[in-house]
Amino acid sequence: MPLYKGMIKARLYDGTFQTCNVTGLDDTTLIGGPPVMLKGKLEDLRRSDGVIVDIDGARDKLAKKPTVNGGKPVPLDIGDTLELNDRRAVVVGIAKNTRTFQSQPIIYTTYSRAMLYAPRERKLLSFVLVKAKPGEDIARLVQRIRDSTGLAAYTQDEFKTLTVNYFLKNTGIPINFGISVLLGFIVGAAIAGQTFYNFTLENLRQFGVLKAMGTSNWVLLRMIMLQAVLVGSIGYGMGVGLTALFGYAMRNTILAFKFPWQLLVFSATGVTLIVIFAAMISIRKVIKLEPAVVFKG
């Protein structure tokens, strides 16, 4: 089945333009459509000039002007029209999509209609979707397609990897995310370390008193580690809780939010490292502390 995927400018009600991510589905099967239809049916794409718009785009970037001054924009709905490359498009459905890094509205239409909307190019076909027969060896099928067409062919997993690699290699996302995470880690370690160290300095005399009274370094070390673990756990709990709350609050917006368990493990590891770093500085100070400090004024 042919599939078109491309960026096309849509002319809105107020005459402004908005670039949209247009997907043209195979006219017969409509394979590759949106995962969830909120209004209308996927088959409505077969109606004249029919397009399906994602809910976030309909509410936000493709929304109509407020009916009253200072009012809220009116979401695009079934029956509303757009212009895609000077051609009329009628909204026949509203869909819910998995959010991506890109914030452009997503518009679905049929492959043949997408050909009309898209600016003329020599080859407009983006992808060909293949559905294997039950029991077919996917790897061999992929190889057969490669051999017979000379085109690149991928399994579902290979295509996912290809997409991820594209973002990793060709966009600034990993660098920006990496820098953000690194900065967060450095700033977190510095602040946590400094705060914890200050706490130790403020209580140095108390540690000295305990040492003078016969408390061993091992016991003091355990005390500091316990405090560090407690502080780290509270901080981690608050951080994860607030993040989850943020994600929940953003569930109906265009922001893409995903909070997999791997992220929990990753952040727990990060917090543990920060806590260990902060505790080590304090432990060193306390272990080197002369108990005679208790008699200093």
Q: Which is nearer to another protein, 134 or 297 (CB)?
A: 297
φ, ψ of residue 10 to 5 degrees: the values are -110, 135
Stretch that binds another protein, among 24-32, 74-82, 210-218, 266-274 (CB under 8 A): 210-218
- β-bridge mates for residue 23, sequence order: 5, 108
Q: Does 206 bind another protein (CB under 8 A)?
A: yes
Alpha-carbon distance 65 to 67, whole Å?
6
C-beta separation of 73 from 14 below 8 A: no
Q: Which is nearer to another protein, 217 or 272 (CB)?
A: 217
Q: Residue from 47, 144, 205, 284 that binds another protein (CB under 8 A)?
A: 205
In 118-216, which residue ranges form alpha helices assigned H by DSSP?
138-149, 156-170, 173-202, 204-212
Q: Does 160 bind another protein (CB under 8 A)?
A: no
Q: Residue from 134, 150, 214, 260 that binds another protein (CB under 8 A)?
A: 214
Alpha-carbon distance 25 to 30, whole Å?
5
Q: Residue from 165, 216, 252, 253 that binds another protein (CB under 8 A)?
A: 216
Smallest distance from another protein to CB 217, Å: 9
Task: Report the run of H or E that residue 284 belongs to, with start and end.
Answer: helix 261-288
Stretch that binds another protein, among 45-53, 63-71, 266-274, 288-296 (CB under 8 A): 288-296
Angle, helix 204-212 to helix 261-288, in steps of 10 degrees: 60
Stretch that binds another protein, among 107-115, 158-166, 192-200, 209-217 (CB under 8 A): 209-217
Total residue count of the chain as it appears in this document: 297
Q: Does 296 bind another protein (CB under 8 A)?
A: yes
Q: Residue from 55, 153, 210, 224 that binds another protein (CB under 8 A)?
A: 210
φ, ψ of residue 228 to 5 degrees: the values are -65, -45
Q: Which is nearer to another protein, 163 or 216 (CB)?
A: 216
Q: Does 286 bind another protein (CB under 8 A)?
A: no
Alpha-carbon distance 225 to 229, whole Å?
6
Q: Does 212 bind another protein (CB under 8 A)?
A: yes
Residue type, 11: R
Per the rule left: phi > 0, alpha: psi between -120 and 50, beta: everything else, 239 is: alpha
Q: Residue from 209, 229, 268, 280 that binds another protein (CB under 8 A)?
A: 209
Judged by the rule CB under 8 A, the positions of this chain that interact with another protein are 205-206, 209-216, 290-292, 294-297
